Structure 1
Amino acid sequence: MRSETMSRPAKQIHLAAHFPGVNNTTVWSDPEAGSHIDFSSFVHFARTAERARFDFLFLAEGLRLREQNGQIYDLDVVGRPDTFTVLAAIAAVTERLGLAGTINSTFNEPYEVARQFASLDHLSAGRAGWNVVTSWDAFTGENFRRGGFLPQERRYERARNFLRTTWKLFDSWHGDEIVADKETGVFLRDARPGAFRHADPDFDIVGQFNVPRSPQGRPIILQAGDSDEGREFAASSADAIFSRYDTLAAGQAFYSDVKGRLARYGRTPEQLVILPASTFVLADTDTEAQELAHEVRLRQVSGETAIRFLEQLWNRDLSGHDPDGPLPEIDPDPGENTVSRGRASVRMYRDPIATAREWRERAEAKKLSIRELIIEVTGRQTFVGAPETVAHGINDLVQADVSDGFILVPHLTPGGLDGFADRVVPLLQEWGVFRTDYQGETLRDHLGIGVDR
């Protein structure tokens, strides 16, 4: 299928760029791999995304370095700076690029987060985006005074309450419109911009919000959950949702399901943008790109890394196994995670035993070693080929309602986005499916959502 032959008007593609930092995506052995903490790396990456007219730059964040078998391991980056600090600094060296970051709703407080995002939205002239995430492990909680963790069913409840509370703070600068609290009915005789009162099972606060209404009203809300609770949370509250589905059938099913939930909240399909995270490998020809992609995967998944990935499913110490040998004969331990800390690990797989069975069947059918299997099942090189091949691949999936665009994750930073900006974006622009210039000032404008007031 080639999208230019389709009868309906072409959808406009949304593109964002992820500066990686909490996984093994980056090929550190490449001479072009740069620092993940020097500000010059962030500047280069952001300016490339902006000259390519991307919607936004995205920063993930981990609140504690992960451990496996009691040691910090090589699937993490050590030394990632604070998200708000980096985004505020990038705001000073860019003009239109959206600035989105992950901020946790489990181990933060609404007043502080609302104040930080309202400030960032002012400093950037309306380009702030918030990826709302939750945490569930006590290991991460040990870094915080409250400590502990939330069970699965409570994580999204707190996140919803957290978001409602921050919205009340963002909206508190409507001035004279605030005459009574909608939940308590308490009349605020001294109603003035910034006055707020909010009470729910998680938060009970009252006071004065000290940051005026920002250019977007509220920051763009992003969400990444794939569970039923996560999809419902996105349908009710998010402006964009990350997706892990980038194949035709799975992507269309996810797209249809999430978009179909919006009506019950009085929303239209255009009010939620679906963006899978995807990697890419470019070369002059498709054959060269395939060869390069294979080399990249070998560098991303060493023998040791393959064993560590396998341990996350098996929930067992597998350090004695040969990464070039077969899968373990023993089944995964489906109980509480004891091998990986600070990561979803076994919880990433709803049925570890069934997943292990699928992996064994695949390995036997293709005669794959542990490392070869892990390279295959963890691969995210969605787009591999010459520039035109990659451009068609992206456009075809968007036009087929697999997604509304993609968040691109290069395997090199800070220069890994350069080739895409120089060789793929011009083709999408030529076909009329991607902007040649920004049409608005704010991130809401870029996403086509409009100002939230």
Structure 2
Amino acid sequence: MSKRQLKLGLVPTGVGGPGDSNRWLDTDIPLDASVNIDWYIHVVRQAEAAKFDLVFIVDSQFITANSPPHYLNRLEPLTLLSALAVATKKIGLVGTLTTSYNDPFNLARRFASLDLISKGRAGWNVVTSGDAGTAGNFSQPEHFDYDTRYRRAVEFLDVARGLWSSWEEGALVRDRATGQFLDAAKLHRLDHAGEFFQVVGPLNIQRSPQGEPVIFQAGDSDQGRDLGATVADAIFTHAATIEQGQAFYADLKGRAVRQGRDPDQIVILPGFSVYVGETDEQAKDIERHYRTLDQSFDQALAEFGRPFGWHDFRQYDPDAPFPVAALEHAKSSFYTHAKRVTDLAVAEGLTLRQTVEGARAGRGSPFVGSAETVANEIQRWFEGRALDGLNVHLGHPSQFDRFVGEIVPILQERGLFRQDYEADTLRGHLGLPIPAGRRTTATDRRNAA
């Protein structure tokens, strides 16, 4: 077996994502970074030069005036990733798209196109959409409830994977001598008829060098974790401590085993900000400086309502007990996260102000210090099975420069991270096998089960 190696992803959120409302004030960041393709090409090429596995483009499809700057005005993921595909050679290209407000055929075709354009570097972060207001942008009266969202996601992904298997190896003969372009026996309809979708197929585009896009998933509810353990190749998550990371890692891999899967074929990639200084104390000062500068309490309070269906918490006295009734507004939004926040506030008797400040403090990073200190901590998490790799939030460019220039070389010297790319596809980077194509119809699969 090849040696287990750390994976690295880049998460660029331009002029400022959640918790970073004022990042755009940094003069190293173009004022239009979130829609500036030249800026994206620059930072992704920087990550590729450092041999990162992937770049991850986050997305949602509903905003309010309180959304962070990057969310207000940003490029659509597949359009952006297609541009990056022709501006890069090796790095994986992962984008967030929802199963709640798309159809499987169109999305399967668009991802297959990105996979071919990039020669096998595409990845799909499968989400069910947590912003309840999204329904109003898609002619729907309300957002799907939790159970419906996840049942739809499972069926959606099954259809997409069935469509990606429309073509067998050798189906496209392309023999000028005989005049045969297609071996029709190797092209298959899907004929899917399910609860949410009826899709005939076949897909009108061939498989890529990695077979099909890599599937990522990021839900943290029981339904979300079950979905990830059942269908995902890689998992995006968050962890404030190594103990939290280890608990999630063990739980997710255990669920995968119970699904009959090889746990080593699921890559766990929590996201982190990293702060680097000449000394540990200087790095802590840098983190404090940016945390104070990048978001005020009033901005945090306005943004705090997102997991609660964008409920406006500014209507409450911040120094009164946390308004527990607000949890009702999270039923069709990010309920798991909102309930965790509410339960903590109740258990500790917190005011709204204390809850918001606690959430801000909770965004602090475990990876703060000199380059040596941060590399040591990354190694501790990796060897302690709290992660298989990490998604590095780009944040302030000067800090990312230090990560790739100072920390990555230490990880490489220790044999934890690659010196150079050893594969051409995203599956190859992540150590994942090419999935076998499905050569039967959905009906045949159901009958066989």
Identify whether the pair has TM-score above 0.5, normalized to the shorter chain.
yes
- Give the AA of the match of 1:333: A
- Give the AA of the match of 1:408: V
Q: 1:343 offset after TM fit, Å? A: 5.9
In 2: Cα distance, 1:224 partner to 1:375 partner: 21
Task: State yes or no: 1:424 paired with 2:398.
Answer: no
Confirm or deny: 8 A CA contact 2:322 2:355 kept in the other structure. Answer: no
- Give the AA of the match of 1:432: G
> Structure 1 residues 329, 229: closer, same or farther in 2, change over 3 A?
closer
Find the counterpart in structure 2 of residue 150 from structure 1.
Answer: 144
Find the counterpart in structure 2 of residue 229 from structure 1.
Answer: 223
Confirm or deny: 8 A CA contact 1:18 1:57 kept in the other structure. Answer: yes
Confirm or deny: 8 A CA contact 1:173 1:212 kept in the other structure. Answer: yes
| SS of 1:135 mapped into structure 2 | coil
In 2: Cα distance, 1:311 partner to 1:158 partner: 26
In 2: Cα distance, 1:106 partner to 1:400 partner: 36
TM-score (norm 2): 0.85
Task: State yes or no: 1:18 paired with 2:8.
Answer: no
**Higher helix proportion:** 2
TM-score (norm 1): 0.85
Q: 1:123 offset after TM fit, Å? A: 0.5
- Give the AA of the match of 2:414: W
| SS of 1:42 mapped into structure 2 | helix
Q: 1:329 offset after TM fit, Å? A: 3.1
In 2: Cα distance, 1:392 partner to 1:217 partner: 36
In structure 2, runs of 5+ residues without a counterpart are 172-183, 437-449
- Give the AA of the match of 1:307: L
Find the counterpart in structure 2 of residue 38 from structure 1.
Answer: 36
> Structure 1 residues 305, 374: closer, same or farther in 2, change over 3 A?
farther
Q: 1:349 offset after TM fit, Å? A: 2.1
Q: For 1:400, which of 363, 381, 384 is the aligned residue?
A: 384
Find the counterpart in structure 2 of residue 165 from structure 1.
Answer: 159
In 1: Cα distance, 2:162 partner to 2:281 partner: 54
> Structure 1 residues 167, 371: closer, same or farther in 2, change over 3 A?
closer
For residues 168-183 of structure 1, the aligned pairs below 5 Å read 168-174=162-168
Indicate the larger mover: 30-39 or 136-145. Answer: 136-145
> Structure 1 residues 404, 396: closer, same or farther in 2, change over 3 A?
same
Find the counterpart in structure 1 of residue 61 from structure 2.
Answer: 63
Confirm or deny: 8 A CA contact 2:53 2:426 kept in the other structure. Answer: yes
Indicate the larger mover: 28-37 or 219-228. Answer: 28-37
In 1: Cα distance, 2:315 partner to 2:25 partner: 23
In 1: Cα distance, 2:3 partner to 2:168 partner: 39
Q: 1:373 offset after TM fit, Å? A: 3.6
Confirm or deny: 8 A CA contact 1:306 1:370 kept in the other structure. Answer: no
| SS of 2:55 mapped into structure 1 | strand
1:400-445 per-position Cα deviation (integer Å, ceiling 9, x unaligned): 00011100102225x6522211110000000111000011110000
> Structure 1 residues 406, 167: closer, same or farther in 2, change over 3 A?
same
Q: For 1:53, which of 51, 54, 62 is the aligned residue?
A: 51
In 1: Cα distance, 2:307 partner to 2:94 partner: 30
Task: State yes or no: 1:29 paired with 2:25.
Answer: yes
Task: State yes or no: 1:375 paired with 2:393.
Answer: no
- Give the AA of the match of 2:378: I
Task: State yes or no: 1:438 paired with 2:436.
Answer: no
| SS of 2:215 mapped into structure 1 | strand
> Structure 1 residues 222, 74: closer, same or farther in 2, change over 3 A?
closer
In 2: Cα distance, 1:418 partner to 1:342 partner: 39
Find the counterpart in structure 2 of residue 333 from structure 1.
Answer: 325
In 2: Cα distance, 1:102 partner to 1:417 partner: 22
Confirm or deny: 8 A CA contact 2:279 2:369 kept in the other structure. Answer: yes
- Give the AA of the match of 1:31: T
In 1: Cα distance, 2:259 partner to 2:406 partner: 40
> Structure 1 residues 31, 342: closer, same or farther in 2, change over 3 A?
farther
Q: For 2:344, which of 355, 377, 399 is the aligned residue?
A: 355
Find the counterpart in structure 2 of residue 5 from structure 1.
Answer: none
| SS of 1:381 mapped into structure 2 | coil
> Structure 1 residues 200, 25: closer, same or farther in 2, change over 3 A?
same
Q: 1:217 offset after TM fit, Å? A: 1.1
> Structure 1 residues 155, 79: closer, same or farther in 2, change over 3 A?
same
- Give the AA of the match of 2:27: P
| SS of 1:36 mapped into structure 2 | helix
Q: 1:307 offset after TM fit, Å? A: 2.1
Confirm or deny: 8 A CA contact 1:49 1:417 kept in the other structure. Answer: no
Q: CA RMSD in A?
A: 2.8
In 2: Cα distance, 1:327 partner to 1:10 partner: 53
> Structure 1 residues 302, 141: closer, same or farther in 2, change over 3 A?
same
In 2: Cα distance, 1:10 partner to 1:92 partner: 31
Indicate the larger mover: 106-115 or 348-357. Answer: 348-357
Indicate the larger mover: 239-248 or 44-53. Answer: 239-248
Confirm or deny: 8 A CA contact 1:132 1:222 kept in the other structure. Answer: yes
Q: For 1:110, which of 96, 104, 107 is the aligned residue?
A: 104
In 1: Cα distance, 2:260 partner to 2:354 partner: 50
Find the counterpart in structure 1 of residue 299 from structure 2.
Answer: 305
| SS of 1:32 mapped into structure 2 | coil
| SS of 2:200 mapped into structure 1 | strand
In structure 1, runs of 5+ residues without a counterpart are 1-8, 178-189
- Give the AA of the match of 1:245: A
- Give the AA of the match of 1:375: R
- Kindly, what percent of the aligned residue pairs are identical? 34
Indicate the larger mover: 159-168 or 380-389. Answer: 380-389
| SS of 1:77 mapped into structure 2 | helix
